[in-house]
Amino acid sequence: MEQYIIKGGVPLTGDVTIGGAKNAALAILAASVMTDDTVVIENLPDVNDTKVLLNAMESVGVLVKHEDRHTVHINAAQIHSVTIHTEYIKKIRASYYMLGALLGKYNEACVALPGGCNIGMRPIDQHIKGFQALGAEVNLERGMITAKAEKLHAAHIYLDVVTVGATINLMMAACLAEGRTIIENAAKEPHVVDLANFLSSMGANIKGAGTDVIRINGVERLHGTEYSIIPDQIEAGSFMLCGAATGGDITVNNVIPKHLESISAKLRETGCEIIESDDAVRVKAPDRLRHTHVKTLPYPGFPTDMQPQIVAALGLADGTSIVTESIFENRFRYVPELLKMGANINIEGGTAIIEGVRGYSGADLSAPDLRAGAALVIAGLAAPDITTIDSINYIERGYEDFPEKLKHLGARIRKIDAEKEETRAHLLAV
């Protein structure tokens, strides 16, 4: 069993470079099968989620060639099946982007139903409603969703909730549907815009991505392209919080500061100095953070994917902070782990009431999901004694070289195989 072992209490300082955005990569990889030409994708994060999606694509005949760790060549001319099996969808929900991509290209797709996920119910009714509006018949049978059309046609789709996944799936399918599709109440997240830019570079005609109305004029075919993925907003934000929680001074490089504004604004409220340049953000933290209130919202609001990390930091702030989760109903599952470290947090419905404590003490923890895992790492970095975190496979779904990047900032962190290595003291000998 692999674990992170952390001896915290060191203010993190220095520079860190952010990789490509995981959630943009998942959408872009899926969309790359929509042409028979070769597509080259650069700045691809080397994380478990992108590996699983590439495996799912290979399982239906997509050719994947790695030029280097962060560049892949994809050719989908020889796809032999439009069915993506459960083994992939069980591992990553985003395999369901193959529905929109394959339906758009072949008028037919069959993908296993995304299973119960551990941050909330996560229904897919808006995806289904949108595919139906585009002329597809959608059936759910034996755990598989099949979407099939004689020919896709344009539609005017009003999403009942702002959903990243449905906006992405429908945008892909609509690219090759006849006529002009309008998606209203669309998600505006940076990765929605990145996918639209990628599809446009393949010849799609998309206007309005990044606003809540996206207009897509269907085209006959898409062609090959070379495309570099945007930097990861959430990886960047997570490192900013590592700096904030440890009283550090970190410069986060290769970012789009605009994407980080909601996080920068909150950190300023807690007393951090934030210095932005063209492609970097520096966080200079005070000795102790001040309390603040946060509510998660769709972009440009404060991201739900940063909620656990900011709670871990506010757990150490002076005063009472209130953090409200408005996107996913089950995203406080890491709080009992923080309580083991001495945090004083009460959950009432979708709200965490946080009485800041002076310090955390190390504990043996388990990551309940990806961002929650990152929050536990942040808490461990702030605790002066030893913290162990298991179930780090969740963390590695979305963070490339997390321990190495943290070590470069001065953190004492190691990834170990708990069954092989001996004692903690030995492991942490520096």
Do the bridges between strand 412-417 and strand 2-7 make them parallel or antiparallel, or are there none, so unpaired? antiparallel
Residue at 75: amino acid letter: N
d(CA 277, CA 264): 13
Q: Rule CB under 6 A: is residue 304 a binding residue for ligand EPZ?
A: yes
The tokens for 39 are 């597509």
Residue 99: name the closest of 41, 139, 156, 42 by CA: 139
The Cα angle at residue 162 between residues 104 and 225, in degrees rounded to 5: 40
Region binding ligand EPZ by CB under 6 A among candidate stretches 156-164, 284-292, 342-350, 379-387: 156-164
CA-based radius of gyration for the chain:
22
Which residue in the shown chain puts its C-beta closest to ligand EPZ? 165
Region binding ligand EPZ by CB under 6 A among candidate stretches 66-74, 162-170, 207-215, 314-322: 162-170
The residue from 161, 213, 265, 418 that contacts ligand EPZ (CB under 6 A) is: 161
The tokens for 344 are 């004083």
Instruction: Write the CA distances from 305 to 36, 218, 263, integer angstroms.
Output: 34, 32, 11
> Which residue's CB is nearer to ligand EPZ, number 8 or number 130?
130
Tell me the angle at which helices 48-59 and 22-31 cross, rounded to the nearest 10 degrees. Answer: 10
Region binding ligand EPZ by CB under 6 A among candidate stretches 6-14, 100-108, 121-129, 276-284: 121-129
The residue from 26, 222, 281, 406 that contacts ligand EPZ (CB under 6 A) is: 26
Q: Rule CB under 6 A: is residue 127 a binding residue for ligand EPZ?
A: yes
Q: Rule CB under 6 A: is residue 231 a binding residue for ligand EPZ?
A: no
Annotated active-site residue in 117, 175, 242, 272: 117
> Which residue's CB is nearer to ligand EPZ, number 26 or number 229?
26
Peptide bond into 298 cis (omega under 30): no
d(CA 14, CA 280): 12
Q: Rule CB under 6 A: is residue 165 a binding residue for ligand EPZ?
A: yes
**Quick check: helix, strand or coil at residue 340?**
helix
> In angstroms, what is the minimal distance from the CB of 69 to ligand EPZ?
21
Q: Rule CB under 6 A: is residue 91 a binding residue for ligand EPZ?
A: no
270 contacts: CB under 8 Å, gap ≥ 6: 244, 289, 290, 291, 292, 313, 314, 317
Q: Rule CB under 6 A: is residue 8 a binding residue for ligand EPZ?
A: no
Instruction: Assign 3-class secondary structure to 277-299.
Output: CCCEEEEECCCCCECCEEEECCC
Q: What is the enclosing helix (H) or strand (E) of 100?
A: helix 97-106
Task: Please state the φ and ψ torsions of residue 178, each to the nearest 5 degrees.
Answer: -75, 130
> In angstroms, what is the minimal distance from the CB of 297 to ligand EPZ?
10
> In angstroms, what is the minimal distance from the CB of 66 to ligand EPZ?
22
The residue from 305, 337, 396, 400 that contacts ligand EPZ (CB under 6 A) is: 305
Site string for ligand EPZ, 316-335 (x = CB under 6 A): -----------xx-------
Q: Rule CB under 6 A: is residue 122 a binding residue for ligand EPZ?
A: yes
Q: Rule CB under 6 A: is residue 184 a binding residue for ligand EPZ?
A: no
d(CA 75, CA 52): 17
117 labelled catalytic: yes
d(CA 393, CA 38): 31
> In angstroms, what is the minimal distance from the CB of 178 to ligand EPZ?
24
**Quick check: helix, strand or coil at residue 316?**
coil
> Which residue's CB is nearer to ligand EPZ, number 289 or number 313?
313
Region binding ligand EPZ by CB under 6 A among candidate stretches 157-165, 219-227, 314-322, 345-353: 157-165
Q: What is the enclosing helix (H) or strand (E) of 6?
A: strand 2-7
Do the bridges between strand 83-84 and strand 63-68 make them parallel or antiparallel, or are there none, so unpaired? unpaired
> What is the 8-class DSSP label of residue 34?
G
Q: Rule CB under 6 A: is residue 371 a binding residue for ligand EPZ?
A: yes
> In angstroms, what is the minimal distance from the CB of 123 to ligand EPZ?
4
> Which residue's CB is nearer to ligand EPZ, number 94 or number 155?
94
> Which residue's CB is nearer to ligand EPZ, number 123 or number 384?
123
The tokens for 336 are 């009992």
Q: Rule CB under 6 A: is residue 126 a binding residue for ligand EPZ?
A: yes
Q: Rule CB under 6 A: is residue 123 a binding residue for ligand EPZ?
A: yes
Region binding ligand EPZ by CB under 6 A among candidate stretches 3-11, 122-130, 197-205, 273-281: 122-130
Q: Rule CB under 6 A: is residue 124 a binding residue for ligand EPZ?
A: yes
Residues labelled as active-site residues: 117
Binding residues for ligand EPZ, per CB under 6 A? 23, 26, 94, 120-127, 161, 163-166, 187, 304-305, 327-328, 370-371, 398
